[in-house]
């Protein structure tokens, strides 16, 4: 569950938390695009370091580290698979270049996790819903999305309680082979699904009794407005994008292997 911890929003005020979610989203997508643009270590490392000031400004280091730790397994997997396939396809040759390209791909994944983690850690579900609405997403969808995000921790807690209740009746989740293990989760999943459905029906009733959908055009208590910080972030984002495209097309990026060889010469 630690990966999810790294995506869980906690309400605090920081310059990053107060940024407009739309601009933050544009920023995350830009980082995503730039990360896809490069497979070399140096620019990816640069992207990785670039986000650290954001993390520090938002003071979410601890949760952020946790999400990275959660992603470590998958990152390791990506590394091993890349080195492995290179090794087998190149006729059992393990070269420094292969290892470097695997490191690059792993780093790309880490950068993606990192930027999404920063986004979700610093953007409240309410803000997210508001951003969706202002981007002309129909309110029903925006609402469904924010509700889903908000109920994840609730469901996680409920799943724990259900597991406890079934363990108290002698259920051993870890017992048996793979198939048996999957079957063991039936007594946990059924109550969880039933209660989620029940909860959603109750939520629907509560919403309707508070006139949900009464008017087509809703007004919002909080309106999103761009501030200085948002424009600054937008400028930074455009700068990164332009810079990245320029570097991608016009600047040859040396590989680490290359650099090392030159030094030794």
Partner 1 sequence: MIVAENVHFSYPNKVEALKGVSLTIKDGEFVAIMGQNGAGKSTFVKHFNGLLKPTSGKVCVDGVETTKTSVAALARNVGFVFQNPDHQLFSETVEDEIAFALKNFGFKPEVVEERVTWALNLLALTQYRKTSPFLLSGGERKRVALASVLAWDPKALILDEPTIGQDHDQKEILRQFIIQMQTQGKTVVIVTHDVEFVAECNPRVVLMKEGKIVAEGIGKDILTNPDVLTESSIVLPQIAQIFMKLSQLGLPKNIIDIYEAEKIILNAKESKPVK
Q: Is 3 in the site for partner 1 (CB under 8 A)?
A: no
Q: Is 98 in the site for partner 1 (CB under 8 A)?
A: no
- Shortest CB 191 distance to partner 1, Å: 5
Q: Are 6 and 67 in contact (CB under 8 A)?
A: yes
Give residues with Cβ within 8 angstroms of 224, minimum separation 6: 20, 21, 22, 127, 130, 131, 134
- Shortest CB 5 distance to partner 1, Å: 10
Binding residues for partner 1 restricted to 191-230, rule: CB under 8 A:
191, 194-195, 198
The count of C-alpha atoms lying within 13 angstroms of the C-alpha of 163, restricted to the half-sphere facing its C-beta, is: 11
CA distance 131 to 226: 12
Q: Is 177 in the site for partner 1 (CB under 8 A)?
A: no
- Shortest CB 170 distance to partner 1, Å: 3
Using CA of residue 22, residue 222, residue 147, residue 3, what is the dihedral sign? positive
The three-state (H, E, C) secondary structure of 7-20, written as one string: CCCCCCCCCCCCCC
Q: Is 164 in the site for partner 1 (CB under 8 A)?
A: yes
Contact stretch for partner 1 (CB under 8 A) within 44-52, 162-170, 222-230, 255-263: 162-170
| Near partner 1 by CB under 8 A: residue from 29, 42, 45, 171 | 171
- Binding residues for partner 1, rule CB under 8 A, total 19
Applying CB under 8 A, the residues found at the interface with partner 1 are 158, 161-162, 164-172, 186-187, 190-191, 194-195, 198
């Amino acid at each position: 569950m630690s990966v999810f911890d790294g995506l869980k929003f906690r309400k605090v005020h920081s310059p990053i938390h107060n940024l407009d979610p739309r601009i933050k989203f544009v920023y995350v997508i830009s980082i995503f695009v730039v990360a896809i643009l490069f497979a070399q270590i140096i620019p990816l490392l640069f992207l990785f370091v670039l986000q650290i000031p954001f993390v520090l400004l938002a003071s979410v280091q601890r949760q952020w580290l946790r999400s990275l730790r959660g992603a470590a397994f998958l990152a390791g997997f990506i590394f091993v698979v890349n080195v492995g396939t290179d090794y087998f396809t190149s006729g059992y040759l393990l070269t420094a270049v292969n290892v470097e390209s695997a490191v690059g791909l792993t780093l790309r994944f880490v950068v993606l996790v990192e930027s999404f983690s920063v986004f979700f850690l610093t953007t409240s579900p309410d803000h997210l819903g508001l951003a969706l609405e202002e981007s002309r997403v129909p309110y029903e969808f925006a609402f469904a999305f924010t509700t889903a995000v908000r109920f994840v921790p609730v469901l996680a807690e409920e799943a724990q309680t259900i597991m406890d209740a079934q363990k108290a009746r002698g259920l051993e989740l870890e017992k048996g082979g793979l198939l048996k293990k999957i079957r063991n989760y039936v007594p946990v999943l059924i109550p969880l699904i039933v209660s989620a459905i029940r909860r959603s029906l109750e939520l629907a009733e509560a919403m309707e009794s508070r006139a949900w959908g009464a008017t087509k055009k809703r007004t919002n208590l909080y309106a999103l407005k761009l501030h200085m910080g948002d424009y600054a972030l937008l400028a930074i984002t455009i700068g990164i994008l332009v810079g990245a495209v320029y570097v991608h097309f016009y600047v040859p990026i040396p590989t680490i292997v290359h650099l090392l060889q030159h030094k030794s010469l």
